[in-house]
Homo-oligomer: A and B are copies of this chain.
Amino acid sequence: MELGLVGLGKMGGNMRERIRRAGHTVIGFDRNPDLADVHSLEELVGRLEGPRVVWVMVPAGAATQSTIDELGELLQPGDVVVDGGNSRWTDDEKHAEELAAKGIGFVDCGVSGGVWGLKNGYALMYGGDKENVAKVQPIFDALKPEGDFGSVHAGKVGAGHFAKMVHNGIEYAMMQAYAEGWELLEAVDSVTDVREVFRSWQEGTVIRSWLLDLAVNALDDDEHLDKLRGFAQDSGEGRWTVEAAIDNAVPLPAITASLFARFASRQDDSPQMKMIAALRNQFGGHAVESKSEH
């Protein structure tokens, strides 16, 4: 089938390649003309035969919104827009309504896979009406990993991004789990080869996983991670996961602890711990470390 693909960055570019390898026609647009197959969204839409499917793979927020707005002007009733970016699930219903007013269908799709996706396939979680999903299905089938798993019609509009968001929340806590364990093993004298302990866990244990394999790769590059700083960004989806939990009164202690650990990792100094130091000094005359001493 034919697909219009908007956004040909690291993710979008590899996805175009994987879809083409599966025998589909992809017409790609990007603001960077070196990456693009066409010069404009208008040309992209003109090159596709209806009913059209246009996959949007641009940064969440303003870029996605303006792309969907523009597509709403260009597309015809019966066409379908897929938002495959990292949009917040709360945006999906709005986008679906805006497009539905013009007879255009909408499907949201969370995509996991990163730099490994081109080779191994992308995990896909999508949401929307059956009818609209059916129009995109050959593309989902091209992108997903081989085998029985890797893609799911998770539910209504928004369910795809919601499921992907929860996936990322779980990812935060799993990474934190390995990280805490690694720090504890490194902290004691009796365990003399932490890297080999991690390596051994790759078979026969309860905690074997792809993330564990990656941890071993990382330790093979840099046994004690001496080259890195303990500094971690967060992508937004971890924050949204906690916010969704709060909206639904669901306690999420491990995932939230993982998010907060990232926040703290980015602080040069901790304001709240200054207050702790100040209070200790007030009531106990405990020594504090002043800036100048350090």
Which residues of A approach B to under 8 Å, CB–CB? 10, 89, 112-117, 120-125, 127, 144-145, 147-159, 162-163, 166-193, 196-197, 199-212, 214-215, 217-219, 222, 225-234, 239, 241-246, 248-267, 269-286, 288-291, 293-294
- 12 additional A-B pairs beyond A150-B204, A162-B188, A173-B174, beta carbons within 8 Å, are A113-B205, A122-B204, A150-B205, A162-B190, A170-B181, A176-B276, A184-B248, A207-B211, A209-B211, A229-B288, A232-B276, A261-B273
A279 B204 Cβ-Cβ under 8 A: no
Q: Can you list 30 A-B pairs with a CB-CB distance of less than 8 A?
A: A124-B204, A125-B200, A127-B190, A145-B204, A149-B199, A154-B191, A163-B197, A170-B181, A176-B276, A178-B275, A179-B271, A180-B251, A182-B275, A183-B271, A207-B209, A218-B275, A225-B274, A225-B278, A229-B289, A229-B293, A230-B267, A230-B270, A233-B280, A243-B246, A251-B264, A257-B257, A261-B272, A261-B273, A262-B276, A264-B264
**A271–chain B nearest beta-carbon distance, Å:** 4
Contact of A117 among B204, B234, B252, B278 (CB under 8 A): B204
Nearest CB of B to A276, in Å: 4
CA distance A267 to B115 in the complex (A): 32
Q: Is the interface of A mostly helix, strand, loop or mixed?
A: helix
Instruction: Indicate if the CB atoms of A274 and B230 lie closer than 8 Å.
Output: yes
**A273 & B230 in contact (Cβ 8 Å cutoff):** yes
- The answer to whether B286 and A233 touch across the interface, beta carbons within 8 angstroms, is yes
